[in-house]
Amino acid sequence: VGCGICVKKCPFEALDIVTLPEELDNPTHRYGTNGFALYGLPIPVEGKVTGILGANGIGKSTAVKILCGQLVPNVGNPSGESDWDEILKQYTGTELYDYLQQVSKSSVKPALKPQYIDYIPKVFKGTVSELLTSTDERGMLDHYIRELRLESILDRPIGNLSGGELQRIAIAACLSREADFYFLDEITPFLDIYQRMTAAKLIRELAETHPVVIVEHDLAILDMLADTVHVAYGKPSVFGIITRPKGVRIGINQYLEGFLPEENVRFRDYAVTFETRAHMRDVVRQTLIAFPEMEKKYGDIFSLTIAAGEIRAGEVLGLVGANGIGKSTFAKLLAGVEKPDHGEMDKEVKIAYKPQYVKGDSSMSVEFLLRQACRTFDSSYYQHEIIEPLSLNPILQSSVDQLSGGELQRVAIALCLSQDADLYILDEPSAHLDVEQRVKLARVLRRHAEGKEAGIIVIDHDIYLIDMISERMLVFDGTPGVTGSAYGPYDMKDGMNHFLKELEITFRRDKSGRPRINKPESYLDREQRAKGEYYYAD
């Protein structure tokens, strides 16, 4: 079954088509004798946001540790003493020379927002306010607290927060420090699109006076946030090569294309494309589940209204809206976990659910868990449609509590899809996945829906993923924590336009068809609003 995501050939494996160029004989750093080797380094630039775009395990964090002075690069000689004179000689005449000279004198002070934030409650026991106050070195904390809407949780203990709250606190803590260089390793997991835009705005403000380096897999956000990107490619866990900086539009387009013209390297043999027509294929779908108009109140605090609609067999339905607007509550109503105050589902629907926050507290192996979840583990269908595209083979014997965030996410997705259900609901499956894995995820889910004649609902805040993955959309709006209403299901054009109108942002499409966020109040922004073309134009 074609999925409409990729043009040309669309293989599952991120092909091993990259070999190490022969002229690259001197890595910047190598872990152990036959360990991972990193070539090149990103360059922090005064007054700019520099992005690093690349797969997990390709050396991004390693590069950053070097820039921070936490790791002295061994220039590929893991046994020898690291010698800064030798390293600096390698970088003579390059833009990095001055920067590395500072690092070698231990005079660079970095501020870091680490990728995984769930460790914060383990190392810090106080309240939100106590944590943040200890980072207030630039006198900007109040501004960040206001903009990131942290006022109402300041007195809460750090151990008692949602992932989205922790993420915003971690961003505020990093930006509040006085540092020579700021590094943020993924800002978007668990944030809704409003919060993503706010975080991006605050980082841009900071970058006017300080160099900032970010890693980000939400490409719409990376695009508006970064000035330049370094593409990182290679073979994850084997070697990674960091390119010279590219303009952000060009860098992202080359990445999606899978081809780097300046380096003359094809690192993926298919291109990721955005095509409005991909959603309008002539498929006839039966109704799988009809749901009536429903209402649900939680005390006097939150109320949710759902318009009647239906979910079709074989479709992926994208579900978008702010945090706290009732998306999970809707899922619970469909599953019969919560009963609506008005309206009633007329039949029981069997639902498989992947929650937003995935727990990795089991010491069982991945394979054991998956075998428990489904009897067809050994079938070629399961291997080919689930295990391979989710790259689970290398971690089948790992115990679940040892997995990285991205690995755990992929296991949770597999566990959900392993169940026998009418409807699969995945809450933020993109969290901690890199771009390559998001593209494969889109394909896995679309094939699963079609192959099983099931319905799949994907709740996510990555607009590109929603665009790639969905056939139709359900849009939630209202006031988070107070009221929520669900509209739709819409076709993609009406759904995206409704959603973005609510957000008050417009996208244009560049020559390759890729959507890009317009600058607010720019000519295009105003023109598109007037026409009601927030994202899709025919």
Give the Cα separation of 59 and 175 in Å (integer).
24
Task: Report what 298 binds from Mg ion, ligand ADP, none; CB cut-off 5-8 Å by kind.
Answer: ligand ADP
- Cβ nearer to ligand ADP, comparing 325 with 454: 325
Question: Candidates 58-66, 92-100, 331-339, 389-397 — which segment interacts with Mg ion by CB under 5 A?
Answer: 58-66
Give the Cα separation of 194 and 461 in Å (integer).
9
Task: Report what 58 binds from Mg ion, ligand ADP, none; CB cut-off 5-8 Å by kind.
Answer: ligand ADP
CB 59, CB 231: distance < 8 Å: no
Identify the residue whose tokens are 């002229």: 23
From the list 43, 383, 431, 38, the residue with the least C-alpha distance to 235 is 38
Tell me how far CA of residue 198 lies from CA of 168, 187, 201, in angstroms. Answer: 10, 11, 5
Site map 12..51 versus Mg ion, x via CB under 5 A: ----------------------------------------
In the chain, DSSP finds a helix count (H) and a strand count (E) of 18, 23
- Cβ nearer to Mg ion, comparing 61 with 323: 61
Identify the residue whose tokens are 């409005």: 276
Bond from prior residue into 489 cis (ω within 30 degrees of 0): yes
Q: What is the nearest approach in angstroms of ligand ADP to the Cβ of residue 235? A: 9
Token digits of residue 20: 């190490």
Strands 29-30 and 294-298: unpaired
Q: What is the nearest approach in angstroms of ligand ADP to the Cβ of residue 138? A: 27
Site map 351..390 versus ligand ADP, x via CB under 6 A: ----------------------------------------
Give the Cα separation of 39 and 30 in Å (integer).
9
State whether residue 22 is helix, strand or coil: coil
Q: What is the nearest approach in angstroms of ligand ADP to the Cβ of residue 528? A: 27
Q: How many residues does the chain have?
A: 538
Q: What is the nearest approach in angstroms of ligand ADP to the Cβ of residue 107? A: 24
- Cβ nearer to ligand ADP, comparing 56 with 470: 56
State whether residue 287 is helix, strand or coil: strand
Give the Cα separation of 538 and 45 in Å (integer).
40
Enumerate the β-bridge partners of residue 399.
365
- Cβ nearer to ligand ADP, comparing 101 with 485: 485
Q: What is the nearest approach in angstroms of ligand ADP to the Cβ of residue 481? A: 4
DSSP secondary structure code for residue 110 in this structure? E
Asked whether position 446 contacts ligand ADP by CB under 6 A, the answer is: no
- What value, to the nearest 5°, has the Cα angle with vertex 229 and ends 85 and 508? 170
CB 272, CB 256: distance < 8 Å: yes
Among the listed residues 132, 213, 221, 325, the single contact to ligand ADP using CB under 6 A: 325
State whether residue 154 is helix, strand or coil: coil
Among the listed residues 329, 391, 437, 528, the single contact to ligand ADP using CB under 6 A: 329
Q: Using CB under 6 A, which residues numbered 13 to 72 contact ligand ADP? A: 31, 35-36, 56-62
Among the listed residues 27, 44, 211, 324, the single contact to ligand ADP using CB under 6 A: 324
Q: Give residue 19's identity as a one-letter amino acid code.
A: T
Q: What is the nearest approach in angstroms of ligand ADP to the Cβ of residue 71? A: 8
Site map 61..80 versus Mg ion, x via CB under 5 A: x-------------------
Q: Using CB under 6 A, which residues numbered 454 to 483 contact ligand ADP? A: 481
Identify the residue whose tokens are 């061994």: 74
- Cβ nearer to Mg ion, comparing 61 with 195: 61
Question: Candidates 5-13, 326-334, 340-348, 514-522 — which segment interacts with ligand ADP by CB under 6 A?
Answer: 326-334
Question: Candidates 54-62, 224-232, 290-298, 346-354 — which segment interacts with Mg ion by CB under 5 A?
Answer: 54-62
What's CA 171's distance to the chain center, in Å?
A: 16
DSSP secondary structure code for residue 237 in this structure? T
Q: Using CB under 6 A, which residues numbered 216 to 255 contact ligand ADP? A: 237
Q: What is the nearest approach in angstroms of ligand ADP to the Cβ of residue 281? A: 30
Q: What is the nearest approach in angstroms of ligand ADP to the Cβ of residue 299? A: 6
Binding site for ligand ADP (CB under 6 A): 31, 35-36, 56-62, 237, 298, 302, 321, 323-329, 481
Binding site for Mg ion (CB under 5 A): 60-61
